[in-house]
Amino acid sequence: MENNYFIFTEKTNKNGLERFHICTWEFKDNSALIEFGGEIKDAFDIVDERVTLMFYIPWISSNHLIVDLYDKLKESENSRFIFNDSLSGHEFLDGGQKKNGVIQKFENRDPLCMIPIESSIDCATKIVSISINIKNLKTIERIDKTSLYFRFYIEPKIDLLSTRKTGISRSTIIYDLKVNERRNLPEDSMIDFNELKLCNIKACFAFNILPNSYDLTFFDSSTLKNIRTLEFDSFKKYLGDNRVKKDELVVVFNKKEKQDSYAFFSIFSKERIGAGQFALAVLVNLICGILLFIPSFRQNLNVEVISKTFWKNLPFEVYLSIAIGLIIVSYFIWPRISYIIQVLVSYVKKKNSTK
């Protein structure tokens, strides 16, 4: 697991992040995604026509796709749900076409301006750059206390988001998310630290969304805000992902603020006493039974195991036991095979979509 993330800005940029959101998703089919979101205060006071942020993501590669969530957040219902507040109105930056940006006006919090991002990946530096063109914002009448907000997600392999330990009777997921920890700055990176600086973050929100079969076994009580079942209907509409299933996922929310860097550590586990354990016990018994039977059988026939006579005279029950054993082995390795097939199918679809 490589979860040391850094957010950089140009040294001349004085804008920090009022809030930073990082949200990990792990689904029951052993796939995952991670969301990054940020809020920049006083959007109308930003001098430049573009806002640019650089995210150092240690596992990023050219195979990954940056998915902008503007099209989701421009819808009032999704914004109301994600930001947990009623909307009193909205104003589109292009007269209602919904393409260039929208200002969502809330009842109990300051307005948020969402604008589509432009993104790129630099594999050499492991940097994802996002750029927000605020030119259209400057053409409308000022709305005081409006903040600029962006959000996007990436789909990595599941073991890049967490450390997973699987035992016979227990499975464990360990999250160790770190944001802007200077001691973990990549020394061998090609990042030009003379031109960039770490972005100041006033508050950091971390969400872990994972199957509800896991229990939270270790957490920081000072940062844990709540644990709840995922609101299926709302998240299904927001994310538009068929992997979001009703009553399958739980949300664990942590928050820290007013720190130079942020770290979130938690451990989840689940008992695995079920069909898998019974199948393993049956497999062990079958193997032991066959191993105990073969020496006496071979001695009575006075033949070697590799001879045709030995295999032709084996009782039907032994062949049946071997067949059952192979079925049980297939039961254990099928999830891995299924996951590999899904990854290959997903990769082919992404390749075709980028052509």
> Torsions phi, psi of 19, nearest 5?
-140, 145
* Statement: residue 187 has pLDDT above 90: no
Boundary residue ending a domain (247, 271, 295): 271
Q: How does DSSP classify residue 201?
A: B
Same-domain pairing of 198 and 318: no
Contact 204, 256 (CB under 8 A): yes
Please give the Cα distance from 15 to 43 (Å, whole number). 10
pLDDT for res 1: 52
Please give the Cα distance from 163 to 218 (Å, whole number). 14
User: What are the start-end ranges of the H helices in the chain?
Assistant: 70-73, 76-82, 232-239, 275-301, 308-312, 316-353
pLDDT for res 258: 94
pLDDT in tens, 284-312: 787 888 877 788 877 777 777 778 887 88
pLDDT for res 338: 75
Boundary residue ending a domain (254, 271, 288): 271
Number of domains in the chain: 2
Same-domain pairing of 183 and 161: yes
Same-domain pairing of 69 and 181: yes
> Torsions phi, psi of 158, nearest 5?
-65, -35
Same-domain pairing of 239 and 299: no
Domain of 89, CATH number, reads 2.60.40
For 263: left if phi > 0, alpha if psi spans -120 to 50, otherwise beta; the answer is: beta
Boundary residue ending a domain (217, 240, 271): 271
Q: Find all residues with CB under 8 Å of 115, minimum gap 6, and list them.
A: 70, 93, 100, 101, 132, 133, 134, 136, 137, 148, 150
* Mean pLDDT score of the chain: 88
Please give the Cα distance from 322 to 290 (Å, whole number). 8
Same-domain pairing of 213 and 76: yes
Amino acid (one-letter) located at 191 = I
Please give the Cα distance from 215 to 252 (Å, whole number). 11
Same-domain pairing of 124 and 178: yes
| pLDDT above 90 as % of the chain | 52
Q: What is the pTM of this model?
A: 0.77
Same-domain pairing of 111 and 183: yes
pLDDT in tens, 240-293: 888 998 999 999 999 999 999 999 999 999 876 556 666 767 777 878 888 777
Q: Which domain holds residue 149?
A: 4-271
Same-domain pairing of 216 and 152: yes
Other Cβ atoms within 10 Å of 156 Cβ, number = 19
Contact 6, 189 (CB under 8 A): no
Same-domain pairing of 220 and 307: no
Same-domain pairing of 213 and 326: no
* Statement: residue 313 has pLDDT above 90: no
Please give the Cα distance from 305 to 75 (Å, whole number). 70
Please give the Cα distance from 208 to 252 (Å, whole number). 5
